Amino acid sequence: MGMTMTQKILAAHAGLSEVNAGQLIDAKLDLVLGNDITSPVAIKEFDKHGFQGVFDEHKIAMVMDHFAPNKDIKAAQQCKTCRSFARRFTIEHYYDVGEMGIEHALLPEKGLVAAGECIIGADSHTCTYGALGAFSTGVGSSDMAAGMASGSCWFKVPSAIRFELHNQLSAGVSGKDVILHIIGKIGVDGALYQSMEFGGEGLASLSMDDRLTIANMAIEAGAKNGIFEVDDITIAYMKDRVNRPYQIYTPDMDAYDTIIDIDLSAIRPTVAFPHLPENTKTIDEINEQITIDQVVIGSCTNGRISDMQIAADILKGKKVAKDVRVIIIPATQSIYKECIKRGYIDTFIDAGCIVSTPTCGPCLGGYMGILAENERCVATTNRNFVGRMGHTTSEIYLASPAVAAYSALAGYIDGPKGEM
């Protein structure tokens, strides 16, 4: 029996000719990531165990994105802890106010992840980097501490589900709709501790932003990681960003436990209702008028320039509904600058939105848009659990930037319907 993409990457990083699902291995790491919430815990463990140095100051990244700019004294202390650690060990990739962005948008943009690499991050959405053909997964802060010190991590090799993509997306449908459709189909534990692997001729119709969005939410199906086959689109994305050799791994088709066919042309704009990402309905299936109080367009899932463009095109020359607060969050400084150059910031402000500096902010109930009792929000984020963005009676509806923008104008959940 052959190996999946994930298994081939893990075998190579463990120095083995092959690995099998369920096998425990010790694999070398190409990058260790932490943020302003998880890194302080890892630093405490690092110091408690008496480590005197990091394995490679060029292969550790710390991004101050969750509560930065600091929302309170505790957040300021957390960032100070990270800042001091980065200075102590001359960590090259430390990103703070003025140069930071949302970590899972920033690292690919900076060329810090590449095909065939093995990456851990003390954040569950580290699985994002599988869009580039890498193995990347979220770990706890203790594993981050050990990874920073040793440059390696223990893994249980996952089995895999292959998603065979066919045809191409219709107008108005994006990667967010694809992953919500898949999670609605298999459930939030449908890929529990498995690798979600994507390939097929339909791959060519997905932009890199679509792939980053899909890989980002693999964890919402319980997956260990998500990973895409490397093609010309991947190589073109890495060309001007990645300045080191990388390895492309292709899967053996007999390695998959399950293969699920996905007809991209049949997917419709999709919304995940409270309080699980699997609780999905297409925009055509929503027969009631669900009024909303807030819209958030941003996050590590949908804060990239294509997301900003989709929202700006829909909002241009219009005004958001009177009683709806709309928060736009470009995911990185370079995306923010590009929005300025293209006139998107004027479009957003003229429509009645506010535009934030790059931050995770409201996604995890941090700040910049906390929900009050019984309020409803349409968000391009990745989780809609009870109390995720504020009060426990508030409701989050996960959607694409297109649906979020249409909803902002309508004052209720809305989007492109019928033939597109």
Instruction: List, for residues 94-106, the tens digit of each pLDDT value.
Output: 999 998 899 999 9
**Is pLDDT above 60 for 31?**
yes
Q: How far apart are CA 19 and CA 7, in angstroms?
A: 6
- What tens digit of pLDDT does each residue of 215-229 get? 999 999 999 999 999
Span 253-257, average pLDDT: 91
Please give the order of strands across the beta sheet that includes 159-166: 225-228, 194-199, 159-166, 258-263
Residue 406 host element (H or E): helix 401-410
Q: How far apart are CA 334 and CA 344, in angstroms?
A: 13
User: What sign results for the dihedral spanned by CA atoms 255, 5, 17, 253?
Assistant: positive
Q: Is the pTM of this model over 0.85?
A: yes
**Is pLDDT above 90 for 377?**
yes
Can you name the residues that pair with 322 across neighbouring β-strands? none
**Is pLDDT above 90 for 400?**
yes
Contact 201, 164 (CB under 8 A): no
Span 68-83, average pLDDT: 95
pLDDT at 416: 83
Tell me the percentage of the chain whose pLDDT exceeds 70.
Answer: 99
Question: How many residues does the structure list for the chain?
Answer: 420
pLDDT at 100: 86
- What tens digit of pLDDT does each residue of 283-305 get? 999 989 999 999 999 999 999 99
Q: How far apart are CA 34 and CA 138, in angstroms?
A: 10
At 419, is the pLDDT very low, low, confident or very high (cuts 50, 70, 90)?
very low
Span 162-166, average pLDDT: 97
- Is 5-264 in CATH node 2.60.40.2550? no
pLDDT at 208: 97
pLDDT at 174: 96
> 3-state class of 349 per DSSP?
helix
Residue 219 host element (H or E): none
pLDDT at 420: 42
- What tens digit of pLDDT does each residue of 306-362 get? 999 999 999 999 999 999 999 999 999 999 999 999 999 999 999 999 999 999 999
At 1, is the pLDDT very low, low, confident or very high (cuts 50, 70, 90)?
confident
- Count CB-CB contacts under 10 A for residue 233: 18
- Is 270-410 in CATH node 3.60.21.70? no
Q: Which sequence spans correspond to the domains of the chain? A: 5-264, 270-410
Q: What is the mean pLDDT of the chain?
A: 95
Nearest to 358 by CA among 39, 38, 68: 68
- What tens digit of pLDDT does each residue of 174-187 get? 999 999 999 999 99
Residue type, position 126, single letter: T
**Is pLDDT above 80 for 418?**
no
Decide if 5-264 and 270-410 have a common fold.
yes
Encoded tokens for 36: 């302003």
